[in-house]
Amino acid sequence: MEINQRVHDLHTWIAQITDEMASEYDRIYATSSEDPGTAGDQGEKNWATVLEDWLPSYYQVETKGRLIGPRGELSPQMDVVVLKPGYPRKLMRKKIWLAHGVAAVFECKNTLKAEHIGDVVRRSQKIKALYERSQRVGTPTKELRSPLIYGLLAHSHSWKSSGSKPLENIEKALLSDRMTPSHPRFEVDLICVADLAYWRRSWLTMSILAPEIEKDFYLAFSDRPGPSTYMNQGAMDYKRQESHFRPIGGFIASLVRELARDDVGLRDIADYYRECGLWGVGEGQGRIWPISVYSQEVKSKIFDPQYFFNGIPWNEWDIGGF
């Protein structure tokens, strides 16, 4: 006798959030031309509420403000800020956020347009550069990611006409050669378009290339190939996607996963979200980086079998940084 497996309640709750976001988008859009500033503030508050509802209470979520680096340098204004648990209470009333007390920041758009992607990619390097003096070294995971999670959140997108290809447009902008940052840690970490798809950054600690391709890579970069970074896309209309998948669920699961790299207490729930299928399934295109993006310490160990692991959860030397 076959047993019908019910849809997990998590997916039902995520679907409810998605419906709420769609309803809010319709409401905000109806008056956005009259007061675009208020419309933007309302959209940011929608996303801040999602984060408040789904992150542990010890992560404070705020809207608006700028990050300040150790030398007093200021970032552009951010829309939504997630503060680390140890952030000073006295300073939570300020709108200048101490960079090293911030876990994640997000730009928010009600309707995503092509130019927003380029803006976010350029800002990612500028904002993450505030952390350069404290950049962590010693393992591939530490060196391929920034201490700050940075992303873009949108209710919807502008590519709605017949024949439009929003997924291709977004990926093309993300992987444009002219948008390539100077180091993989400066890449955008997360993107969510609530009614379309989400993207999460991942990596392979080493690129496996055919000998002739590796030779061409060396000629082009005067260096051997090193890690590969990817923006894995989870779209609602992906051919192998479950019907109950929603991009907001994938975004929440991926954000918790990234936070759990440093916050060990979050790892159980991060693993639970993945096992329940909140990530969904998808695919992604990537970049290959020269091995010089690693420190000498990592380069000296990367080919040593004792440091090379595959499929060991949370191991910072694992082949795939998923």
pLDDT for residue 177 = 62
Counting Cβ atoms within 10 Å, is residue 304 exposed (0-12), middle (13-18) or buried (19+)?
exposed
- If one compares 36 and 274, the residue with the highest pLDDT of the two is 274
pLDDT for residue 1 = 38
Give 320's pLDDT tier (boundaries 50, 70, 90): confident
pLDDT tens-digit readout, 67-95: 999 999 999 999 999 999 999 999 988 89
Please say if the pLDDT value at position 40 is more than 70. Answer: yes
Provide the token pair at 304. 């040593």
Give 178's pLDDT tier (boundaries 50, 70, 90): low
Q: Give the range among 209-218, 225-234, 309-318 with minimum mean pLDDT.
A: 209-218
> With contact defined as beta carbons under 8 Å apart, do 280 and 288 qualify?
no
The answer to whether residue 321 is domain-embedded is no
Can you tell me the mean pLDDT for 272-301? 91
The answer to whether residue 315 is domain-embedded is no
The answer to whether residue 303 is domain-embedded is yes
The answer to whether residue 312 is domain-embedded is no
The answer to whether residue 314 is domain-embedded is no
Residue 100 CB partners (closer than 8 Å, separation 6+)? 70, 131, 134, 147
Q: Give the range among 69-73, 116-120, 311-315 with minimum mean pLDDT.
A: 311-315
Can you tell me the mean pLDDT for 260-280? 95
- Determine what percent of the chain is predicted with pLDDT higher than 70: 97
End-to-end CA separation in angstroms for the chain: 37
- Phi and psi torsions of 195, nearest 5°: -100, 15
Integer CA distances (angstroms), 66 to 106, 130, 288, 299, in order: 12, 12, 32, 36
Q: Give the range among 149-153, 187-191, 282-286 with minimum mean pLDDT.
A: 282-286
**Is residue 311 left, alpha or beta, with left meaning phi > 0 and alpha meaning psi from -120 to 50?**
left
The answer to whether residue 2 is domain-embedded is no
Residue 240 CB partners (closer than 8 Å, separation 6+)? 281
Residue 164 CB partners (closer than 8 Å, separation 6+)? none
The answer to whether residue 147 is domain-embedded is yes
Give 206's pLDDT tier (boundaries 50, 70, 90): confident
- If one compares 33 and 276, the residue with the highest pLDDT of the two is 276
174: closest CA among 322, 287, 290? 287
Q: Angle at which helices 166-174 and 114-128 pack, to 10 degrees?
A: 30
Q: Where are the alpha helices (DSSP H) in the chain?
A: 9-31, 36-54, 114-128, 140-144, 166-174, 211-221, 247-260, 267-275, 296-299
How many domains is the chain partitioned into structurally? 1
Domain that residue 160 falls in: 9-307
Q: Give the range among 26-40, 65-79, 137-151, 289-303 with minimum mean pLDDT.
A: 26-40
Counting Cβ atoms within 10 Å, is residue 313 exposed (0-12), middle (13-18) or buried (19+)?
exposed
pLDDT for residue 322 = 63
Can you tell me the mean pLDDT for 45-57? 97
Q: What is the mean pLDDT of the chain?
A: 90
pLDDT for residue 318 = 86
Please say if the pLDDT value at position 101 is more than 70. Answer: yes
Give 3's pLDDT tier (boundaries 50, 70, 90): very low
The answer to whether residue 237 is domain-embedded is yes
CA distance 248 to 153: 10
Provide the token pair at 100. 């090293």
